């Protein structure tokens, strides 16, 4: 026998039903409750949102100015570095050109000295050959 406390119950389930209707009803109820319990009127809320947007805009502009300032500072440092390197390269080129001029001058002096020594050697050889030829003629004449 059954107790009267245990009454059978029936569960009804829907298969394939759309959940969109439940969502729309929930959204409408939530919006209505939000309007009822809102601490400010619509105009006050709009003004608060506008003020918040102004503050956000001011903050964004300030951050943009700071970022621009930092970027300009970094660009100035980079420009200075590039300018220093360019000057360094120019100085090195000038020093290289001067060293080349000095080396060329020294080489030209050594070349002239070598040419002079060569000419002196050639002249001495000619004199020796000429003196030897005269000595041979004198000896040939004495033997005759």
Concatenate the DSSP letters of all residues of 55-106 into one string.
HHHHHHHHHHHHHHHHHHHHHHHHHHHHHHHHHHHHHHHHHHHHHHHHHHHH
Domain-located, residue 110: yes
- Domain presence at residue 30: no
| Separation of alpha carbons 35 and 55, rounded Å | 26
- Asked whether residue 65 is assigned to any structural domain, the reply reads yes
**What CA–CA distance (Å, rounded) separates 48 from 55?**
11
- What domain range includes position 97? 53-128
Asked whether residue 113 is domain-assigned, the answer is yes
Tell me, yes or no, whether 76 lies in a domain: yes
Considering the domain boundaries, does residue 2 fall inside one? no
Q: What is the pLDDT of residue 14?
A: 58
Per the structure, how many domains does the chain have?
A: 1
- Whole-Å CA distances, 76 to 67, 73, 86, 87, 104: 14, 5, 15, 16, 42
Does some domain include residue 73? Answer: yes
Helix, strand, or coil (residue 15): coil
38 Cβ partners below 8 Å, 6+ apart? Answer: 45
Digit-by-digit pLDDT tens for the chain (144 residues) are 455 567 666 665 555 556 667 778 888 888 877 777 777 777 887 888 788 889 989 999 999 999 999 999 999 999 999 999 999 999 999 999 999 999 999 999 999 999 999 999 899 888 888 887 676 666 566 655
pTM: 0.42
């Amino acid at each position: 026998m059954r107790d009267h406390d245990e009454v059978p119950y029936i569960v009804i389930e829907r298969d394939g039903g759309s959940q969109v209707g439940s969502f729309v009803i929930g959204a409408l109820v939530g919006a209505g409750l939000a309007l009822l319990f809102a601490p400010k009127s619509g105009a006050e809320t709009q003004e608060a949102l506008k003020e918040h947007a102004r503050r956000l805009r001011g903050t964004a502009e300030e951050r943009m100015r700071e970022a621009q300032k930092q970027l300009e500072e970094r660009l100035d440092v980079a420009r200075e570095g590039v300018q220093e390197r360019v000057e360094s390269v120019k100085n090195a080129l000038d020093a290289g050109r001067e060293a080349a001029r000095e080396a060329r001058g020294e080489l030209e002096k050594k070349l002239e000295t070598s040419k002079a020594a060569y000419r002196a050697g050639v002249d001495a050889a000619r004199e020796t050959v000429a003196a030897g030829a005269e000595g041979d003629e004198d000896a040939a004449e004495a033997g005759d």
